[in-house]
Homo-oligomer: A and B are copies of this chain.
Amino acid sequence: MKQIKVFAPATVANVTCGYDVLGFAVENPGDEIVARLIDEPKVIIKKITGDGGKLPIEAEKNTAGVSVINYLKHIKSKQGIELEIHKKMPLGSGLGSSASSSVGSVFATNLLFGNLLSKRELLQFTMEAERVACGSAHADNVAPSLFGGLVLIRNYDPIDVIKIKTPKLFATVIHPEIIVKTEDARNILNKNVPLEKVVKQCGNLAGLITGMFTENYELISRSLVDEIIEPQRAKLIPNFYNVKEVAIENGALGCGISGSGPSIFALSKDEKTAEIVGEKMKKEFAKIKIENDVFVSEINNEGVKVI
Protein backbone atom coordinates (compact mmCIF):
# COMPACT_ATOMS: atom_id res chain seq x y z
CA MET A 1 0.00 0.00 0.00
CA LYS A 2 1.41 3.39 -1.09
CA GLN A 3 1.88 5.67 1.92
CA ILE A 4 3.53 8.94 2.90
CA LYS A 5 4.37 10.40 6.30
CA VAL A 6 4.65 14.14 6.84
CA PHE A 7 5.37 16.64 9.59
CA ALA A 8 3.09 19.70 9.76
CA PRO A 9 4.40 22.41 12.07
CA ALA A 10 2.47 24.14 14.82
CA THR A 11 1.95 27.85 14.26
CA VAL A 12 1.69 31.09 16.17
CA ALA A 13 -1.00 33.42 14.83
CA ASN A 14 -1.91 36.97 15.96
CA VAL A 15 1.75 37.86 16.28
CA THR A 16 1.34 40.87 18.66
CA CYS A 17 0.60 43.82 16.33
CA GLY A 18 -0.25 41.36 13.54
CA TYR A 19 -3.69 40.38 14.83
CA ASP A 20 -5.48 38.27 12.21
CA VAL A 21 -2.85 39.07 9.55
CA LEU A 22 0.43 37.46 10.67
CA GLY A 23 1.37 33.93 11.62
CA PHE A 24 4.57 31.93 11.79
CA ALA A 25 5.51 28.26 11.93
CA VAL A 26 7.82 26.60 14.44
CA GLU A 27 10.04 23.50 14.17
CA ASN A 28 8.57 22.03 17.32
CA PRO A 29 5.85 21.00 18.14
CA GLY A 30 3.80 19.77 15.19
CA ASP A 31 1.72 16.88 13.89
CA GLU A 32 2.82 13.73 12.14
CA ILE A 33 0.36 12.49 9.59
CA VAL A 34 0.44 9.26 7.62
CA ALA A 35 -1.68 9.03 4.47
CA ARG A 36 -2.31 5.89 2.40
CA LEU A 37 -4.02 5.52 -0.94
CA ILE A 38 -7.02 3.20 -0.80
CA ASP A 39 -9.22 1.96 -3.62
CA GLU A 40 -12.58 3.07 -2.28
CA PRO A 41 -13.32 6.76 -2.96
CA LYS A 42 -13.61 7.79 0.69
CA VAL A 43 -11.58 9.18 3.57
CA ILE A 44 -11.02 7.02 6.62
CA ILE A 45 -9.25 8.08 9.78
CA LYS A 46 -7.76 4.82 10.94
CA LYS A 47 -5.97 5.99 14.02
CA ILE A 48 -5.42 9.06 16.15
CA THR A 49 -2.75 9.17 18.84
CA GLY A 50 -1.75 11.87 21.27
CA ASP A 51 -5.16 13.54 21.51
CA GLY A 52 -6.33 11.86 24.70
CA GLY A 53 -9.37 10.59 22.81
CA LYS A 54 -10.67 14.11 22.21
CA LEU A 55 -10.66 14.34 18.42
CA PRO A 56 -13.45 12.96 16.23
CA ILE A 57 -12.57 9.88 14.22
CA GLU A 58 -15.24 10.73 11.61
CA ALA A 59 -13.40 12.24 8.65
CA GLU A 60 -16.02 14.90 7.96
CA LYS A 61 -15.76 16.21 11.52
CA ASN A 62 -11.97 16.20 11.76
CA THR A 63 -10.00 18.94 9.99
CA ALA A 64 -7.50 16.36 8.74
CA GLY A 65 -10.37 14.57 7.06
CA VAL A 66 -12.15 17.67 5.78
CA SER A 67 -9.21 19.06 3.80
CA VAL A 68 -8.69 15.67 2.15
CA ILE A 69 -12.41 15.18 1.38
CA ASN A 70 -12.45 18.56 -0.39
CA TYR A 71 -9.20 17.79 -2.19
CA LEU A 72 -10.49 14.46 -3.50
CA LYS A 73 -13.69 16.12 -4.69
CA HIS A 74 -11.67 18.80 -6.45
CA ILE A 75 -9.50 16.33 -8.37
CA LYS A 76 -12.51 14.05 -8.96
CA SER A 77 -10.62 11.13 -7.54
CA LYS A 78 -11.87 7.58 -7.79
CA GLN A 79 -9.49 6.53 -5.05
CA GLY A 80 -9.60 7.42 -1.36
CA ILE A 81 -7.28 8.08 1.56
CA GLU A 82 -6.68 6.40 4.89
CA LEU A 83 -5.15 8.66 7.56
CA GLU A 84 -3.23 8.22 10.76
CA ILE A 85 -2.99 11.34 12.88
CA HIS A 86 -0.26 11.51 15.47
CA LYS A 87 -0.85 14.64 17.53
CA LYS A 88 2.49 15.75 18.84
CA MET A 89 1.15 19.04 20.13
CA PRO A 90 -1.47 20.18 22.62
CA LEU A 91 -5.06 20.66 21.43
CA GLY A 92 -7.00 23.88 21.92
CA SER A 93 -3.78 25.57 22.93
CA GLY A 94 -3.56 28.49 20.54
CA LEU A 95 -0.92 26.73 18.47
CA GLY A 96 -3.10 25.92 15.49
CA SER A 97 -3.56 22.23 16.20
CA SER A 98 -6.50 21.83 13.84
CA ALA A 99 -4.60 23.70 11.11
CA SER A 100 -1.52 21.47 11.36
CA SER A 101 -3.70 18.38 10.97
CA SER A 102 -5.52 19.63 7.89
CA VAL A 103 -2.29 20.86 6.31
CA GLY A 104 -0.45 17.61 6.97
CA SER A 105 -3.21 15.39 5.62
CA VAL A 106 -3.85 17.26 2.39
CA PHE A 107 -0.14 17.78 1.71
CA ALA A 108 0.50 14.04 2.10
CA THR A 109 -2.53 13.23 -0.02
CA ASN A 110 -1.41 15.56 -2.79
CA LEU A 111 1.97 13.82 -2.89
CA LEU A 112 0.27 10.44 -3.14
CA PHE A 113 -1.54 11.80 -6.20
CA GLY A 114 1.72 12.82 -7.83
CA ASN A 115 1.91 16.39 -6.51
CA LEU A 116 -1.00 17.47 -8.71
CA LEU A 117 -1.49 20.84 -7.01
CA SER A 118 0.82 23.54 -5.67
CA LYS A 119 0.91 24.52 -2.00
CA ARG A 120 -0.93 27.69 -2.99
CA GLU A 121 -3.71 25.58 -4.46
CA LEU A 122 -3.85 23.39 -1.35
CA LEU A 123 -4.47 26.45 0.82
CA GLN A 124 -8.17 26.59 -0.05
CA PHE A 125 -8.80 23.04 1.26
CA THR A 126 -7.08 23.76 4.56
CA MET A 127 -9.02 27.00 4.96
CA GLU A 128 -12.28 25.16 4.42
CA ALA A 129 -11.21 22.71 7.12
CA GLU A 130 -10.67 25.66 9.49
CA ARG A 131 -14.28 26.60 8.92
CA VAL A 132 -15.25 23.21 10.41
CA ALA A 133 -12.88 23.66 13.37
CA CYS A 134 -13.58 27.25 14.31
CA GLY A 135 -16.47 28.56 12.27
CA SER A 136 -14.54 30.70 9.83
CA ALA A 137 -12.08 29.97 7.05
CA HIS A 138 -9.11 31.64 8.72
CA ALA A 139 -5.73 31.33 7.03
CA ASP A 140 -3.40 32.61 9.73
CA ASN A 141 -2.54 29.14 11.04
CA VAL A 142 -2.91 27.01 7.90
CA ALA A 143 -0.84 29.32 5.68
CA PRO A 144 2.28 29.36 7.89
CA SER A 145 1.97 25.60 8.53
CA LEU A 146 1.84 25.07 4.77
CA PHE A 147 4.49 27.55 3.61
CA GLY A 148 6.66 27.96 6.71
CA GLY A 149 8.19 31.21 7.84
CA LEU A 150 6.35 34.38 8.76
CA VAL A 151 3.26 34.72 6.61
CA LEU A 152 1.09 37.75 5.94
CA ILE A 153 -2.59 37.22 5.17
CA ARG A 154 -3.13 40.50 3.33
CA ASN A 155 -6.65 39.83 2.17
CA TYR A 156 -9.33 37.15 2.07
CA ASP A 157 -11.45 38.01 -0.91
CA PRO A 158 -9.52 37.07 -2.96
CA ILE A 159 -7.07 35.28 -0.69
CA ASP A 160 -3.66 36.96 -0.78
CA VAL A 161 -0.94 35.28 1.25
CA ILE A 162 2.64 36.59 1.25
CA LYS A 163 5.71 35.09 2.87
CA ILE A 164 7.81 37.66 4.73
CA LYS A 165 11.57 37.27 4.84
CA THR A 166 12.89 37.09 8.40
CA PRO A 167 16.32 37.09 9.96
CA LYS A 168 17.27 34.15 12.23
CA LEU A 169 14.66 33.98 14.98
CA PHE A 170 14.02 31.46 17.72
CA ALA A 171 10.60 30.92 19.21
CA THR A 172 9.81 29.94 22.75
CA VAL A 173 6.27 28.68 23.12
CA ILE A 174 4.75 27.85 26.48
CA HIS A 175 1.44 26.07 26.81
CA PRO A 176 -0.12 26.39 30.26
CA GLU A 177 -2.65 23.69 30.99
CA ILE A 178 -5.68 25.89 31.28
CA ILE A 179 -8.66 26.13 29.00
CA VAL A 180 -9.31 29.25 26.91
CA LYS A 181 -12.14 28.70 24.48
CA THR A 182 -11.58 30.39 21.13
CA GLU A 183 -15.17 31.52 21.30
CA ASP A 184 -14.64 33.24 24.66
CA ALA A 185 -11.42 34.83 23.41
CA ARG A 186 -13.40 36.24 20.48
CA ASN A 187 -16.42 37.36 22.43
CA ILE A 188 -14.28 39.27 24.88
CA LEU A 189 -13.03 41.61 22.14
CA ASN A 190 -14.59 45.02 21.63
CA LYS A 191 -16.09 45.34 18.18
CA ASN A 192 -14.60 48.82 17.85
CA VAL A 193 -11.10 50.16 18.33
CA PRO A 194 -10.19 53.74 19.24
CA LEU A 195 -8.58 55.41 16.22
CA GLU A 196 -5.45 56.40 18.14
CA LYS A 197 -4.86 52.76 19.04
CA VAL A 198 -5.25 51.81 15.39
CA VAL A 199 -2.53 54.31 14.51
CA LYS A 200 -0.18 52.89 17.15
CA GLN A 201 -0.84 49.34 16.00
CA CYS A 202 -0.22 50.33 12.38
CA GLY A 203 3.07 51.99 13.35
CA ASN A 204 4.22 48.85 15.11
CA LEU A 205 3.09 46.51 12.35
CA ALA A 206 4.88 48.55 9.67
CA GLY A 207 7.91 48.66 12.01
CA LEU A 208 7.84 44.89 12.50
CA ILE A 209 7.74 44.18 8.76
CA THR A 210 10.50 46.72 8.14
CA GLY A 211 12.57 45.19 10.92
CA MET A 212 12.22 41.75 9.32
CA PHE A 213 13.37 42.92 5.88
CA THR A 214 16.23 45.02 7.24
CA GLU A 215 17.23 42.39 9.83
CA ASN A 216 17.03 45.07 12.49
CA TYR A 217 16.45 43.17 15.74
CA GLU A 218 16.10 46.35 17.79
CA LEU A 219 13.31 47.56 15.52
CA ILE A 220 11.64 44.14 15.61
CA SER A 221 11.80 44.27 19.38
CA ARG A 222 10.36 47.77 19.65
CA SER A 223 7.58 46.81 17.26
CA LEU A 224 6.49 43.54 18.91
CA VAL A 225 3.73 45.34 20.77
CA ASP A 226 0.00 44.77 20.71
CA GLU A 227 -2.02 47.82 21.68
CA ILE A 228 -5.40 46.37 20.81
CA ILE A 229 -5.96 42.68 21.47
CA GLU A 230 -3.53 41.71 24.25
CA PRO A 231 -4.91 44.17 26.83
CA GLN A 232 -8.33 42.59 26.33
CA ARG A 233 -7.28 38.94 26.32
CA ALA A 234 -4.51 38.98 28.92
CA LYS A 235 -7.07 38.48 31.70
CA LEU A 236 -7.91 35.03 30.28
CA ILE A 237 -4.39 33.82 31.09
CA PRO A 238 -3.42 33.88 34.78
CA ASN A 239 -0.04 35.52 35.38
CA PHE A 240 0.25 36.59 31.71
CA TYR A 241 1.99 39.88 32.41
CA ASN A 242 4.50 38.29 34.80
CA VAL A 243 5.33 35.63 32.23
CA LYS A 244 5.77 38.30 29.57
CA GLU A 245 7.92 40.40 31.87
CA VAL A 246 10.39 37.61 32.62
CA ALA A 247 10.62 36.80 28.92
CA ILE A 248 11.60 40.36 28.06
CA GLU A 249 13.87 40.72 31.10
CA ASN A 250 15.73 37.61 30.03
CA GLY A 251 16.45 38.82 26.54
CA ALA A 252 13.42 38.00 24.40
CA LEU A 253 12.81 40.50 21.60
CA GLY A 254 9.11 40.38 22.32
CA CYS A 255 6.36 38.24 23.77
CA GLY A 256 2.64 37.85 23.23
CA ILE A 257 -0.38 35.59 23.22
CA SER A 258 -0.24 32.82 20.62
CA GLY A 259 -3.44 32.70 18.58
CA SER A 260 -6.29 33.24 20.99
CA GLY A 261 -4.30 31.65 23.83
CA PRO A 262 -3.66 30.22 26.30
CA SER A 263 -0.19 29.58 24.82
CA ILE A 264 2.30 32.41 24.99
CA PHE A 265 5.16 32.89 22.55
CA ALA A 266 8.40 34.82 22.73
CA LEU A 267 10.92 35.53 19.98
CA SER A 268 14.66 35.66 20.55
CA LYS A 269 17.75 36.27 18.48
CA ASP A 270 19.49 33.05 19.48
CA GLU A 271 18.67 29.59 20.77
CA LYS A 272 20.37 29.99 24.13
CA THR A 273 18.26 33.05 24.96
CA ALA A 274 15.10 31.29 23.76
CA GLU A 275 15.88 28.39 26.13
CA ILE A 276 16.52 30.61 29.13
CA VAL A 277 13.36 32.54 28.37
CA GLY A 278 11.47 29.24 28.33
CA GLU A 279 12.84 28.20 31.73
CA LYS A 280 11.92 31.54 33.28
CA MET A 281 8.42 31.52 31.80
CA LYS A 282 7.96 27.98 33.11
CA LYS A 283 8.84 29.12 36.63
CA GLU A 284 6.22 31.88 36.52
CA PHE A 285 3.48 29.38 35.77
CA ALA A 286 4.91 26.94 38.34
CA LYS A 287 4.56 29.68 40.98
CA ILE A 288 0.79 29.59 40.56
CA LYS A 289 0.81 25.80 40.16
CA ILE A 290 -0.21 25.69 36.52
CA GLU A 291 1.23 22.71 34.65
CA ASN A 292 2.85 23.68 31.38
CA ASP A 293 4.92 22.57 28.42
CA VAL A 294 7.69 24.60 26.83
CA PHE A 295 8.82 24.26 23.23
CA VAL A 296 11.92 25.98 21.88
CA SER A 297 12.82 25.94 18.19
CA GLU A 298 13.93 28.06 15.32
CA ILE A 299 11.18 29.53 13.18
CA ASN A 300 10.31 26.83 10.67
CA ASN A 301 11.01 28.16 7.23
CA GLU A 302 9.94 25.24 5.07
CA GLY A 303 6.44 24.43 6.29
CA VAL A 304 4.92 20.98 6.03
CA LYS A 305 7.36 18.32 4.79
CA VAL A 306 7.84 14.61 4.21
CA ILE A 307 9.58 12.75 7.04
Residues of chain A at the chain B interface (Cβ within 8 Å): 17-22, 152-155, 160, 162, 164-165, 189-195, 198-207, 209-210, 213-214, 219, 222-223, 228
Contact = CB atoms under 8 A, between A and B. Distances in A.
Contacts of A18: 202, 206
A194 to B, nearest CB: 6
A303 to B, nearest CB: 18
Contacts of A202: 17-21, 201-202, 205
Contacts of A219: 154, 162
A71 B162 CA distance: 45
A154 B206 contact: yes
Contact of A192 (B154, B193, B206, B213): B193
Contacts of A164: 206, 210
Nearest to A190: B195
- Looking at chain A's contact residues, the main secondary structure is mixed
Given A162-B219, A191-B194, A195-B193, A153 B203 contact: yes
24 contacts: A17-B202, A20-B199, A21-B199, A21-B203, A22-B206, A152-B207, A152-B210, A153-B203, A154-B204, A154-B206, A154-B219, A155-B222, A162-B207, A164-B210, A165-B214, A189-B195, A190-B195, A191-B195, A192-B194, A198-B228, A201-B202, A202-B202, A209-B213, A213-B213
A41 to B, nearest CB: 38
Contact of A154 (B154, B189, B193, B222): B222
Question: Which among A191, A201, A202 has the highest number of chain B CB atoms within 10 Å?
Answer: A202
Contact of A206 (B21, B200, B228): B21
Nearest to A189: B195
Contacts of A207: 152, 154-155, 160, 162
A256 to B, nearest CB: 15
A190 B193 CA distance: 10
* Closest CB pairs A-B (n = 5): A192-B192, A213-B213, A154-B207, A154-B203, A209-B209
